[in-house]
Structure 1
C-alpha cells in the first residue's frame, strides 16, 4: 500500500479545496417553544390553592413567592421533598422547616439590580424608572448593565448562576407570552436615525404587520428596531405620525440616552397604550451601548446575547423581515439561514418567509442575498427567501392573513410557564 507509506502532507497539502456533493446527516433540534403545564408556581393564588389541597407538594418549583403568607399551612406540611425555592420571601422558621423536610432554597441577593427569579417580562417604564429625576445611570437598566460588566463579579460563580437563572425565567415568560400568537420578527441596524424617511418606513412596516394581527418582535434596541416597535404600538397612522414627529428632535441615543428615551416615554404617555399586545422587544445587556427602546410594550431582556439571539429567531415563526443593517444584522440573517437550511421540524407546512428589504444593500453593499440563494438552491429553504425594495412589499409577504389580536397581559401577573392550577388572579404587590 504505497499511499500509506507517504506522509499525509505529500498527498493532500497541495490539493485544491472545494465542495463535493455528499449525503448530509439530518437531525431534529432539541428545542421546545411551547409552554407546558408543569411544576413551576409563580403566583401567590396558585400557591395558596396548592397548600389547601390534598395533592402532594413534592417536586414543585416555587419562584419569587412570599412564603410568609399562609405560613401556618406550610409549617403543617411535611411533603416538601424535592421542592426548590427560587428567591422570594421567607422567614427563618419557614426556611428551617423547608430544609428539614428536603427542600432546596436558593436565596435572593439584595445586591442584584434585578430579581433573578422574576416570572414576568419587563416594561420600558420599569427599566427606565427614575430616568427623569435621577438620569439614566440610576435606572434599573443601567444598574443591570454595570452589574453584568463589573469585573469583580464577572467570574463570580454565584452571580453567574443568578444571571443564568434570570435568563431562564425570562425565556419561560417569553415562551408563555407568545404561545398561540402569530409572531413576525423585524430586524435591522441600530444606526437608523429618527427623523429620516427610512425610519418612518420601518415604523410603517411595523404598523402594517401589527394591523394585520401579528405580534411584532424586534431586538428591542434603537434604530430600525425602535421604528418597528413604534409602528406596531401605534393604533393608527395619526398616532404614528405624532410619535414620529415627537421623537425626531433627538435623532440618536448617543451621547445622551435620557434625552433619547424621554420623548418616547412622553409620546406613549400622551397617547396611551392600545389594549392589545402588538409589540415586543428582546434586547440584551451584552450590548450595553444599545439601550432598550421605549415603544416595545413588553421587554424580554437577557444577559446572554447568544440566548437572546436564538430566542428572537426561534419565536419569529411566522416570518422575518430584515431591514438594512451591518454586522449584527448579517449575523442574524445567517443564523436564520442556518435554521432554515437544516429545518426538519416543519415538514407538514411551508417554512416561514424571510424577506430582505433593500436590493442594493443586500446584493451590492453587503452581498448576503447571493449567498442565501446558493444555500437555498434545491432545498425547501429556497422557497422561503424573498428580496424586495419597499416595506409595503415586505408587509404583504408576512402579514397577508388577518388574525385576532390577544389582549395585553397585566404587567403585575407572571406570564411564565403555565401554572399547575389553572389561571390565578394577578397579585396585588409586584415584587
Structure 2
C-alpha cells in the first residue's frame, strides 16, 4: 500500500501526491505564483519550529543517532544500532533519530525496549511511509532545515552508523556548525572502522593535506568499533564537560 507522511498529515493509496514540500519551496522553475504563496509558506515553516520546540523543550539530555534507512534487519549493523540505542538509554539519554527504517529503527528499538525515551524526527519523502514503530515521541517535518535545527538544538552528541547521502549530510552539517562555532562543541563518533576509515583517510591525506581544513577539524571525529567507548564519550561530555582526549581521536 502506498503511504506518505506530509508533515502531520498521512496520505495513502490514491491520495499520495508527487514531489515534496521542500521541492516546491526550492524549485524556481515554473509559473510566478510563488510570489503569492511564499509568504504563506513562512507560516508553515514557523509552525514546524513551534511544534518542534514545544515537543522537545523538556526532553533532557539526548544523543542523535544517524544511519542508513537501507540497513536490513538481519544486518550486523542493525543489531549494533539496537545496542547503541539500548546503551545510550541506559546511560540516561534520550535517543533521537530520523525516525525512519533501517539503522534509525534499530536505535529507536533499542532505546524503547530499554525503557528510554525514543524520539523520531521524520521528514516528508516520496519513498518513506512515516515513522517506525519504535518511536515513542515523533514529529513529522515538511522542511529539512527545520528538522536539522531540532537535531543540533536538542542532541548533546552524535553517534553515526554506516549510511549514505542523508547520513553524510547530517554528519557534515554537525561538523560545520561546530567548526564555525555556531553551536557548542559536542562529541561525534563514527561507529564502524571498516566503513568510515576511507573517509578519515581522505579527509587527512587530501583535504587536510591541501589545507582545506585544520587538524583541529579532523580531531572532532572519533572512529571506533566499540559501542561502549562511543557511549562513554557521550557520558563524559555530559558529566564532565571535557573536550575529547587526543588518545580517542580518529587515527
Normalising to structure 2: TM-score of the pair?
0.72
Is 1:171 the counterpart of 2:49? The answer is yes
Whether 1:196 aligns to 2:65 is no
Please tell me whether residue 322 in structure 1 is matched to residue 160 in structure 2.
yes
Counterpart in the other structure of 1:357: 191
Q: Are 1:141 and 2:10 counterparts?
A: yes
**2:230 is paired with a residue of what secondary structure?**
helix
Deviation of the 1:137 alpha carbon = 4.2
Q: In 1, distance between residues paired with 2:238 and 2:196?
A: 29
1:280 to 100, 119, 141: 119
Query: How large is the Cα RMSD of the aligned pairs?
Result: 3.3
Q: What is the aligned partner in structure 2 of residue 371 from structure 1?
A: 203
Q: What displacement does 1:281 show?
A: 0.7
Deviation of 1:386 (Å): 0.8
CA distance in 2: counterparts of 1:159 and 1:137, whole angstroms: 26
**CA 1:164 to 1:390, structure 2 compared with 1: closer, same or farther past 3 Å?**
farther
Cα distance in structure 2, aligned partners of 1:344 and 1:136? 40
Structure 2 matches for 1:257-272, cutoff 5 A? none
Relative to 1, partners in 2 of residues 1:199 and 1:377: Cα closer, same or farther, differing over 3 Å? same
Q: Decide whether aligned partners of structure 1 residues 141 and 162 sit closer, same or farther in structure 2, where only a CA change above 3 A counts.
A: farther
Deviations 1:104-149 (A, max 9, x none): xxxxxxxxxxxxxxxxxxxxxxxxxxxxxxx554985235983573
Which runs of 5 or more structure 1 residues have no equivalent in the other structure? 1-134, 236-273, 404-431
- Paired residue for 2:143? 304
SS in 2 for 1:301: strand
> Which residue does the alignment assign to 2:30?
none
In structure 1, distance between residues paired with 2:203 and 2:117: 33
The alignment partner of 2:203 has SS state of helix
Match of 2:100 in 1: 221
Whether the aligned pair in 1 keeps the contact of 2:123 and 2:140 (CA below 8 Å) is yes
Q: Which residue of 1 aligns with 2:109?
A: 230
CA contact (8 A) 1:202 1:391 kept: no
Structure with more strand by fraction: 2
| Deviation (angstroms), 1:332 | 1.4
State the Cα deviation string for residues 405-427 of structure 1 (Å, max 9, x = none).
Answer: xxxxxxxxxxxxxxxxxxxxxxx
Contact 1:186 1:228 survives alignment (8 Å): yes
Match of 1:390 in 2: 226
Query: Among residues 198, 201, 207, which one is paired with 2:86 in the alignment?
Result: 207
CA offset at residue 336 of structure 1?
1.2
Task: Give, in whole Å, the separation in 1 of the partners of 2:128 and 2:4.
Answer: 16
Distance 1:397 1:228, change over 3 A: same
Task: Work out the CA distance in 1 between the residues paired with 2:105 and 2:75.
Answer: 13
Report Cα offsets for 1:223-243 as digits up to 9, x if no partner: 1111111111113xxxxxxxx
- Other-structure match for 2:172: 334
Secondary structure (helix, strand or coil) at the match of 2:127 reads coil
Distance 1:333 1:150 in 2: 23
Aligned residues: 218
Partner in structure 2 of residue 89 of structure 1? none
- Matched position secondary structure for 1:230: helix
Aligned pair in 2 of structure 1 residues 159, 386: CA closer, same or farther (>3 Å)?
same
Deviation at 1:333, TM superposition (A): 1.3
Give the alignment's TM-score, normalised by structure 1: 0.44
Equivalent-residue separation in structure 2 for 1:345 and 1:191 (angstroms): 30
Higher helix share: 2
